[in-house]
């Protein structure tokens, strides 16, 4: 179902813009932001739009509304649904923040913002994530293990590297064995776990 702003939402957006300062943090937009987050959380499988970790059952406050092109630089796209999604705080606040280094050529993009060719990474609304990256997840005891399978050496590989998805694989695997989350411990992952991952990936 498409995200549709009612007239009261549109009026509040106009009022927030007219008030100036930090538009996004204006209290008048609280219902608009709830509607945006609800829309993406209502997807069949809500997840972070960059690392694809599940948002099912997560507390709402740990999920951010994500502006693909940062609102601080692209004010006109602040409420454009094609520029919106949800992400985990790691991908949004720690990695991507307000950077635009994932845009191929800012000048070439101009007003053609919603064309996949302008983005180096997998765009959450313009690209199909699974065509570039697939996530293999399985459970061992109380831990869920993730492995990212890069399917394209362009957007898939760029996304994998940009969001350091290898860290999520390493942390999950180490935690499953009660090890400290550290890349240096990866070699200590048991053979049985490595075999299970390999078998799972072969089926994808």
pLDDT digits (tens, 9 = 90+) for 25-71: 999 999 999 999 999 999 888 999 999 988 877 667 779 999 999 99
Residue 183 confidence (pLDDT): 42
Cβ-proximal residues to 169 (8 Å cutoff; 6+ apart), any chain? 146, 147, 148
Q: Rounded to an integer, what distance in angstroms lies between the CA atom of residue 103 and that of residue 71?
A: 15
| pTM of the predicted model as reported, rounded to 2 decimal places | 0.83
């Amino acid at each position: 179902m498409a995200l549709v702003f009612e007239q009261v939402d549109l009026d509040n957006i106009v009022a927030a813009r007219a008030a100036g300062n930090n538009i996004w943090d204006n209290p008048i937009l609280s219902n608009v932001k709830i509607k945006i987050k609800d829309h993406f959380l209502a997807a069949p499988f809500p997840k972070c739009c960059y690392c694809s970790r599940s948002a099912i059952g997560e507390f709402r406050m740990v999920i951010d509304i994500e502006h693909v092109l940062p609102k601080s630089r692209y004010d006109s796209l602040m409420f454009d649904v094609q520029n919106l999604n949800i992400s985990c705080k790691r991908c949004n606040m720690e990695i991507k923040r307000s950077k635009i280094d994932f845009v191929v050529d800012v000048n070439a993009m101009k007003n053609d913002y919603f064309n996949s060719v302008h983005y180096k990474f997998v765009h959450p609304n313009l690209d199909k994530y699974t065509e570039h990256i697939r996530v293999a997840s399985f459970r061992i005891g109380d831990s869920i293990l993730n492995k990212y399978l890069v399917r394209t050496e362009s957007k898939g590989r760029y996304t994998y590297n940009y969001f350091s998805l290898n860290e999520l694989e390493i942390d999950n695997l180490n935690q499953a064995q009660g090890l400290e989350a550290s890349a240096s411990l990866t070699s200590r992952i048991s053979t049985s776990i490595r075999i299970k991952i390999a078998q799972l990936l072969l089926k994808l």
